[in-house]
Homo-oligomer: A and B are copies of this chain.
Amino acid sequence: MEKDKLIGVDLGGTTIKFAILTKEGDIQQKWSIRTNILDEGAHIVPDIIDSINHHLELFQLDRERVIGIGMGTPGTIDFDKGTVRAAYNLNWSAEQNVRTQLEIGTGLPVTLDNDANCAALGEQWRGAGDNEPNVDFITLGTGVGGGLVLDGKLVHGAAGSAGEIGHVIVEPDGFQCTCGNKGCLEQYASATGVVHLAQTEAESYVGNARLKEMIDNGDEVTSKIVFDLAKQGDYLANQVVDKVGHYLGLACANLANTLNPTKIIIGGGVSAAGRFLLDRVEENFQKYAFQPTRDVTELKLAELGNDAGAYGAASIALQSDREVM
């Protein structure tokens, strides 16, 4: 029987997303379940096994046809052993024997990678990356993550922390980061970073601006509110967005000066600000990127939204040479 199907799993702190895809990367079925993090996350892997087995039966898909399962996960992965640890939003602090359990429970080969990497590979393969071999991905959420695709493969680096674009220093001695350093991109371009920037700019701002009023009133300000006010012409909010554009443009330019990708894709919640944000990033990118790079690298918004992780997870299953034990 020809092996022609892939299973992609995107394991998150609140939901687990599943998809069955053709080996060309078309999603044929998708579903999700809630992540049960009780009992130190002991239910998570059994729940994934049950859900896959149940849906294979439901869709009457012979497992002989499945090339493999790929899964994106938070935490630190040991790629040799197939284990995951330090995934605190899953309540997995101790090392979990994820790959072996999943392989025994499903009878299918399993490949793991981290969630930001899977989203990067998903966008590269089936999203804004147009399946080009050299694509970098930056995701702007609560934090800032990233993934690098070189010659069609994910870059892991020596200890699996390649692509930590969120911790590139964009302002030496700048805002304190949770990682212990100062001036990381994450502190200027994540949802919380944008709000922090807004508060700091507001302090020294003397004119009238709705954003200034809200901050002075102690109203709840989110990154979405900052972008919405900027779009409406609020002067202070635009000053904040200019700064975000500067830092992101600088980080994208230095990434391009280092890796010379054809595309840098920007995704995550903050990227919902769309072209309004991207245009400012582009302006600064043009200023800071080395000319041979500037001519080659296109900045784009992510296209797959929440499905990116499942696509990318399926892609790592396709690239893997693991076989059923």
Residues in chain A within 8 A of chain B (CB atoms): 132-134, 148, 150, 155-165, 167-169, 172, 179-181, 184, 246, 250, 253-255, 257-262, 287-293, 295-297
Contacts and interface: CB of A to CB of B under 8 A. Distances in A.
A222 to B, nearest CB: 27
A246 B254 CA distance: 17
Chain A contact residues, majority secondary structure:
loop
Contacts of A254: 168-169, 254
Contacts of A180: 291
Given A158-B134, A254-B169, A164 B288 contact: no
B293 A169 contact: no
B253 A169 contact: yes
A164 B292 CA distance: 10
A181 B290 contact: yes
A185 to B, nearest CB: 9
Contacts of A258: 148, 162-165, 168, 255, 258-259
9 contacts: A132-B158, A157-B259, A158-B262, A162-B258, A167-B290, A169-B250, A169-B257, A172-B288, A179-B290
Q: Which of A165, A184, A287, A292 has most chain B Cβ within 10 Å?
A: A292
A253 B185 CA distance: 13
